[in-house]
Structure 1
Amino acid sequence: MTMASITGGSYPPALANDQERERLALAIKDWSIANGLAVRPPPAVVGPQGDPRGIFAVNAPVTLFPSPFPRSCFQEAKAIQTAYNELYASISQDADFLEGLVQEVAGGDDFIANLWDVHLRVKGEGYVQSLDLGLFRSDYMVHQDGEALQIKQVEFNTIASSFGGLSAQTSKLHQYLAQTEYPLLQAAGPHASGLDLPANHSAKGLAAGLADAFTAYGPSTLGHPTCVLFLVQDGERNVFDQRRLEYELQSTHGIPVFRLPFSEVLARTSIAPSSPARQLLYSLPSSPARVFEAAVVYLRAGYGPGDYPTPSAWEARHQIERSGAIACPSVLTQLAGMKKVQQVLATPEPSGGVPTALRRFVPSETKAAGLLRTFTNIFPMDDTTPAGQAARKMATDPEACKKYVMKPQREGGGNNFYRTAIPAHLASIPEAHWGSFILMELITPPPLENIILRNGALEQGGVICELGVYGTCLWDRKTKAVLHNEESGYLLRTKGDQSEEGGVAAGYGCMDSCSLV
């Protein structure tokens, strides 16, 4: 079975003339701005001199049509999400397991080593908050193996799982176009006769996870009003995506929310003096005498080395981690998202059985089998194990490397090395650092086409789609109880089939939604 056979023919529909293209593009641009499917413009479009007051917004890059996606793959990805939530909640509670993996990669990765150091400092003093919150996203691509189509996991994100706000709006955009614009096109096809566009409540679902953590924190024992802090990067372009979650928390749940640049954590927050609970207090910049107690700190920053340019940035992360606020994520939960964890989970027994690491955290054979079906082949890059030695040989071979992507322990786009770029990068770094990478077999998606609207211009051609499924999970490290575990909507990102990376904010991909086939 191929995607062409299940879409019933040519897709997307051919636009008859320039007038059709312009009308559809204008409808998308106007709807996007009117409904917040927007980003701050990239410097290549409008530089600081052209927008000195920071007032400009442009529609987020988006496909003109929802991309066909196999219904069975979509349903499987959504159904398995709560099992993934439980898995990563369990991993984050196993510091001994994480310590072993950190030691394997930290020699070539100062960022991971510094995160682990934050944990050790807080552990030495003693953690005061036992609740952990994860706003996760598990990313997949459809892998075509002969006639079979199946989902294979690209990565699991445990920090700053973005685009929950914009993905919900993208689904609404395509639903709007299906009602108003697609039926007017001259070309016949499924776009005119009816598309199966699944509802997407990702913004509501992610906000509900934050709200549950806020409630679990409880009222302040110091008499302060409580709040949620969104920890953000300076100059954040993807602000409207984040704002949708803030507005949902404020309007639906009645929770005060404040945006706090990572660079201002030490200036705007403090630990309550002489309190064993070490409450995290936040002072309003406009009115420093007004003090809120942070129940939850949601990190949309702090996921890469660029967020820690000075030692004070690491002190800021340490302050959040040692406080009584519920950090989303905690340092250990962030470390659970290392690509090394994904590799170890997917490494099978020599006998071909279920991986030992997976069974360590998932005793249920049924759940373990369901997770295992979504894994692709991933190899370590160490120089001591047979698997690592074999991976090094493949990674440095000019032909064998073309089947792989090499990944560091990072979140966000633009960090990976693909195919023939792998040997060159390995040659540029000390061999002792190779173990900080993992080698993943490339997933082979079925061929698709679509039209992308980016920076006001239309781009048509072959595309690759990546499905992300959101999950929210709240657990107690002391009691091991899972207090909240939900699948929370989806994201579809699409990129040109000649592009290696897929990050929208990084400038590689675009927003999309699923048309189930």
Structure 2
Amino acid sequence: MYPVYPPRLTEEQEEYLLTNLKDWSIAHGLAVRPAPSYVPTETDPSAALATTAPVTLFPSLFPGVCFEQARNVAEAYNELYAAIASDETWLKGIVEELVEIDDFMANLWKVHLKVKEEGYAHAFTLGLFRSDYMVHVDPSEPQPCVRQVEFNTIASSFGGLSSKVSGLHKHLLSIGAYPESLNSILTDSSLPPSTSIPGLARGMAKAHEAYLECAPTLPTCVIFLVQDLERNVFDQRHLEYAVNEHGIRVFRLPFSRVLKDTHVDANRKLIYTPPQSPGQRFEVSLVYLRAGYSPTEYDNEAAWDARLQLERSAAIKCPSVLLQLAGTKKVQQVLATPHSPHLKRFLPDEKQAAAVLKTFAPIYPLDKSEAGMEARKLATNPDSAVRYVAKPQREGGGNNIYRKAIPDFLHSLPESHWPAHILMEMIEPPEQNNVIFRNGETQQGGVICELGVYGACLWKQGDADGKPHITSNFEAGYLLRTKGDASEEGGVAAGFGAVDSVALVDV
């Protein structure tokens, strides 16, 4: 579907391109902390070093019609998940199918129930979403389209680096680092910038403004809740600095220090005391979670106490527990199972619903429903399993089971645990090539690209019918992640992919 791309570089061309790529990336913060496998801990005991983030040398080709399709449904997806997270009755029916077989989901639901009993202290919720897609070619259709891989409602990462990598590729084009043979493909207009840094920061600023309507009595701040050892720190820092440009104080709070550095006062306001300034106190307007999405982070009861403390406070959450649960694969499956009646419940506008529906890949339950029993036959038959991926209710990359591995994996579990997974038809993207720069080395070959479109949505819980009152809703930039076509997984932080940008082409 694509032209031959990218071209082979001469030794001199590659040296010029790589020299500029490495220098520009470090100068502009397109960076990560190095993995111990690349820079041993004893070499960098204080974690002072940084290295270029895994990145592609060339922007990857991407059909313009697919790029616009994905961007055009961003606001509809924002509205969809705001509505799902606001409909506790519907979500309860989904979650209750999982609580007996998934302790993580069960404990998240317990947090919600405890806060519900006490009463939620703030009506607003912020969603900073990323909807991930791949290009899908259907021989019966005149044009390719995008199909959704997953929808992320918590810790939607790489918004900071995605803006930087699109800037990198534009810079390399501007200095003649790409061969002249690409002049008809790579132009300033074919390389759209990603606005994810200002877009996501704007979403957080909108939430902060909404909190200020409550007339806080202390200086206010936004908390970035982070993991203790975070290699992807610069991605987060770019967003932090952009929020700070709105005149908002930002602090990074490791998940392990929530109970030490915060408390909830008599009015249920979340009060933060910086350990470096114990005489100061701040009222937290927004907690932006870049941690708390993995079961491994809740390794003791104190971690669950910390999550409960945040949830019961008056600070706006991004996301709330209900919004985190709305992002589970089970919800995606319920919406996308062929002939599902659920989509129109949340998107009554037929035009919006039809546009979202076009992005769904067929997804099936692995329960004992009629659709689930059919899916079990497909998943346990080695001949048919090669067309599918099994996904658990997890975020962060590295969790999925692909193709031939599915039958043996399922047979290793009690059948009662099968419904904790969904079965999704594999998306088969068109073949293309690129060069990935990772840990000082280049790898050239076939690649698979995954487009993530960010969205920001702020809403206030509605009346008894559960419908949200949306006050802000906008698309907030894009991310392209690219991996070698021999890798099934695509997470950059998990060690599988590279950050990339799009070169729009007509197909």
1:53-72 equivalent positions in 2, closer than 5 A: 53-72=46-65
**1:225 maps to 2:233:** no
Aligned to 1:149: 144
Letter aligned with residue 371 of structure 1: V
Q: Distance in 2 between matches of 1:486 and 1:148?
A: 26
The CA deviation string for residues 30-53 of structure 1, in whole angstroms up to 9 with x for no partner, is 110000000000111112211111
Letter aligned with residue 356 of structure 1: P
Q: Distance in 1 between matches of 2:7 and 2:174?
A: 16
1:5-24 equivalent positions in 2, closer than 5 A: 9-15=3-9, 17-24=10-17
Aligned to 2:255: 262
Instruction: Kindly state the Cα deviation for residue 372 of structure 1 after the two structures are TM-superposed.
Output: 0.5
Once structures 1 and 2 are overlaid, which stretch shifts more, 428-437 or 138-147? 138-147
User: In 2, are the aligned partners of 1:13 and 1:191 still within 8 Å (CA)?
Assistant: no
**1:204 maps to 2:198:** yes
**Aligned partner (choices 279, 285, 288) of residue 269 of structure 2:** 279
Instruction: Kindly state the Cα deviation for residue 189 of structure 1 after the two structures are TM-superposed.
Output: 5.0
| Identity score, percent | 56
**1:139 maps to 2:132:** yes
Aligned to 1:246: 240
Letter aligned with residue 201 of structure 1: T
**1:310 maps to 2:310:** no
User: In 1, are the aligned partners of 2:330 and 2:421 still within 8 Å (CA)?
Assistant: yes
User: In 2, are the aligned partners of 1:33 and 1:58 still within 8 Å (CA)?
Assistant: yes
User: In 2, are the aligned partners of 1:106 and 1:436 still within 8 Å (CA)?
Assistant: no
What is the DSSP-based 3-state SS (H/G/I as helix, E as strand, rest coil) of the residue aligned with 1:241? helix
**Aligned partner (choices 284, 306, 311) of residue 294 of structure 1:** 284
Instruction: Kindly state the Cα deviation for residue 106 of structure 1 after the two structures are TM-superposed.
Output: 2.1
Q: Distance in 2 between matches of 1:236 and 1:69?
A: 31
Evaluate the alpha carbon distance shift between residue 289 and residue 444 of structure 1 in structure 2; reply closer, same or farther with a 3 A threshold.
same
Q: Distance in 2 between matches of 1:193 and 1:300?
A: 35
Instruction: Kindly state the Cα deviation for residue 222 of structure 1 after the two structures are TM-superposed.
Output: 5.5
Instruction: Kindly state the Cα deviation for residue 283 of structure 1 after the two structures are TM-superposed.
Output: 0.2
Letter aligned with residue 359 of structure 1: K
Instruction: Kindly state the Cα deviation for residue 220 of structure 1 after the two structures are TM-superposed.
Output: 6.6
**Aligned partner (choices 380, 384, 401) of residue 396 of structure 1:** 380
What is the DSSP-based 3-state SS (H/G/I as helix, E as strand, rest coil) of the residue aligned with 1:113? helix
1:432-511 equivalent positions in 2, closer than 5 A: 432-478=416-462, 480-511=468-499
**1:363 maps to 2:358:** no
Instruction: Kindly state the Cα deviation for residue 22 of structure 1 after the two structures are TM-superposed.
Output: 2.0
Letter aligned with residue 431 of structure 2: P
**Aligned partner (choices 363, 370, 385) of residue 378 of structure 1:** 363
User: In 2, are the aligned partners of 1:220 and 1:293 still within 8 Å (CA)?
Assistant: no
The CA deviation string for residues 117-171 of structure 1, in whole angstroms up to 9 with x for no partner, is 1000111111111100000000000011226311000000000000000000000
Alignment gaps of 5+ in structure 1: 350-354
Q: Distance in 1 between matches of 2:4 and 2:365?
A: 41
Aligned to 2:31: 38
Q: Distance in 2 between matches of 1:27 and 1:340?
A: 44
Evaluate the alpha carbon distance shift between residue 445 and residue 177 of structure 1 in structure 2; reply closer, same or farther with a 3 A threshold.
same
Aligned to 2:177: 182
Instruction: Kindly state the Cα deviation for residue 369 of structure 1 after the two structures are TM-superposed.
Output: 0.6
User: In 2, are the aligned partners of 1:409 and 1:437 still within 8 Å (CA)?
Assistant: yes
What is the DSSP-based 3-state SS (H/G/I as helix, E as strand, rest coil) of the residue aligned with 1:363? coil
User: In 2, are the aligned partners of 1:233 and 1:301 still within 8 Å (CA)?
Assistant: yes
Letter aligned with residue 457 of structure 1: E
The CA deviation string for residues 248-292 of structure 1, in whole angstroms up to 9 with x for no partner, is 1112x01000000000000000001x32xx000000101212000
Q: Distance in 2 between matches of 1:223 and 1:369?
A: 47
1:84-95 equivalent positions in 2, closer than 5 A: 84-95=77-88
Q: Distance in 2 between matches of 1:219 and 1:284?
A: 24
Report the TM-score, using the length of structure 1 for normalisation. 0.94
Instruction: Kindly state the Cα deviation for residue 430 of structure 1 after the two structures are TM-superposed.
Output: 1.1
Q: Distance in 1 between matches of 2:271 and 2:293?
A: 23
User: In 2, are the aligned partners of 1:134 and 1:329 still within 8 Å (CA)?
Assistant: yes
User: In 1, are the aligned partners of 2:13 and 2:177 still within 8 Å (CA)?
Assistant: no
Q: Distance in 2 between matches of 1:106 and 1:144?
A: 37
Once structures 1 and 2 are overlaid, which stretch shifts more, 490-499 or 478-487? 478-487
Q: Distance in 1 between matches of 2:352 and 2:398?
A: 32
Aligned to 1:164: 159
What is the DSSP-based 3-state SS (H/G/I as helix, E as strand, rest coil) of the residue aligned with 2:281? strand
Q: Distance in 2 between matches of 1:107 and 1:23?
A: 57
User: In 2, are the aligned partners of 1:105 and 1:437 still within 8 Å (CA)?
Assistant: no
What is the DSSP-based 3-state SS (H/G/I as helix, E as strand, rest coil) of the residue aligned with 1:148? coil
Instruction: Kindly state the Cα deviation for residue 19 of structure 1 after the two structures are TM-superposed.
Output: 2.3
Aligned to 1:344: 334
Q: Distance in 2 between matches of 1:426 and 1:180?
A: 52
Evaluate the alpha carbon distance shift between residue 501 and residue 420 of structure 1 in structure 2; reply closer, same or farther with a 3 A threshold.
same
Evaluate the alpha carbon distance shift between residue 386 and residue 192 of structure 1 in structure 2; reply closer, same or farther with a 3 A threshold.
closer
Evaluate the alpha carbon distance shift between residue 214 and residue 193 of structure 1 in structure 2; reply closer, same or farther with a 3 A threshold.
closer
Q: Distance in 2 between matches of 1:192 and 1:378?
A: 36
User: In 2, are the aligned partners of 1:102 and 1:112 still within 8 Å (CA)?
Assistant: yes
**Aligned partner (choices 391, 394, 402) of residue 407 of structure 1:** 391
**Aligned partner (choices 87, 92, 96) of residue 89 of structure 2:** 96
Aligned to 1:128: 121
Q: Distance in 2 between matches of 1:14 and 1:320?
A: 53
Letter aligned with residue 219 of structure 2: P
Q: Distance in 2 between matches of 1:432 and 1:128?
A: 37
What is the DSSP-based 3-state SS (H/G/I as helix, E as strand, rest coil) of the residue aligned with 1:318? helix
Q: Distance in 2 between matches of 1:450 and 1:460?
A: 6
Aligned to 1:325: 315
Q: Distance in 2 between matches of 1:407 and 1:338?
A: 10
Aligned to 2:72: 79
Q: Distance in 1 between matches of 2:203 and 2:26?
A: 27
Instruction: Kindly state the Cα deviation for residue 356 of structure 1 after the two structures are TM-superposed.
Output: 1.1
Instruction: Kindly state the Cα deviation for residue 195 of structure 1 after the two structures are TM-superposed.
Output: 6.1
The CA deviation string for residues 41-98 of structure 1, in whole angstroms up to 9 with x for no partner, is 0111112211111100000011111011000110111011000000000000111111
Letter aligned with residue 65 of structure 1: F
User: In 2, are the aligned partners of 1:220 and 1:226 still within 8 Å (CA)?
Assistant: no
Aligned to 1:427: 411
Q: Distance in 1 between matches of 2:336 and 2:214?
A: 43
